[in-house]
Amino acid sequence: MLKLEGVSAGYHSLRILHELDLHVEEGEIVAVVGANGAGKTTTLKTISGLLRPSSGVITFGGQRIDGVRPSELVRRGLVHVPEGRALFGPLSVEENLRMGGWTRGRRPLDEPMREVFELFPILAERRRQVAETLSGGQQQMLAIGRSLMAGPRLLLLDEPSTGLSPKLTWAVLDAIRTIRDRGVAVLLVEQNAAHALNLADRAYVLESGSVVLSGSGPELARDDRVRAAYLGL
């Protein structure tokens, strides 16, 4: 459903991604792992239209999307949950969720909101609380919940476990699995390679803006190079 072919991108004259090839199929969790500065966030920004590739082709659902505005991509079902969450801090949980549903126009938001509350019951309990007073884990859940309100076909998740306790990390990873099981594909960027490879159907290892290895999650978790470089084994 998503395909990058020979994609190069960066900031001003600084090239960060070098002819990247990557794909995500329906119903898959695909992880991109790599060290600090490898270009993981830049990859997601390029897919979601925040950065324009300098060369290469990106297609989503068979249509070319490089150069398409981010808001239009959200309408088409490609939704990015950035690192740092970008919530509307002074607004309540419920208001944040409603903002996420803007693509639905006048259609009622009760059903998608019920699904989010089913996934993250704590958000239902806190629906009137303002977002900036939630814990880090609750904010991450809200950021993911808000993205689901748009009815995505593909979610781009940037470092969802950053700053979370082990217990909350597992809760968020579990939720990602449930989201996949509900039919939404997920492209997940993670510095914590152990978590990502455990969760992913397939994964790519990124080094200095290039894919150096790819395979199934368990396959890569067994790879000696990955174990030495990213799993500390």
List residues binding ligand ATP (CB under 6 A): 11, 14, 16, 34, 36-42, 191
Q: Select 12 or 167, whichever has its Cβ closest to ligand ATP.
A: 12
Collapsing DSSP states into helix, strand and coil, what is residue 214? strand
Give the C-alpha separation, 193 to 57, whole Å: 27
Q: Select 36 or 63, whichever has its Cβ closest to ligand ATP.
A: 36
Element (H, E) at 8: strand 2-11
Give the C-alpha separation, 149 to 26, whole Å: 19
* Packing angle, helices 110-119 and 166-181, rounded to 10: 130
Q: Select 97 or 200, whichever has its Cβ closest to ligand ATP.
A: 200
- For the bound state, the minimum distance from the C-beta of residue 40 to ligand ATP, rounded and expressed in Å, comes to 3
* Packing angle, helices 93-100 and 136-148, rounded to 10: 30
- For the bound state, the minimum distance from the C-beta of residue 233 to ligand ATP, rounded and expressed in Å, comes to 20
Q: Select 191 or 210, whichever has its Cβ closest to ligand ATP.
A: 191
- For the bound state, the minimum distance from the C-beta of residue 43 to ligand ATP, rounded and expressed in Å, comes to 7
Phi, psi of 188 (to 5 degrees): -115, 125
Q: Select 151 or 160, whichever has its Cβ closest to ligand ATP.
A: 160
- For the bound state, the minimum distance from the C-beta of residue 38 to ligand ATP, rounded and expressed in Å, comes to 4
- For the bound state, the minimum distance from the C-beta of residue 63 to ligand ATP, rounded and expressed in Å, comes to 25
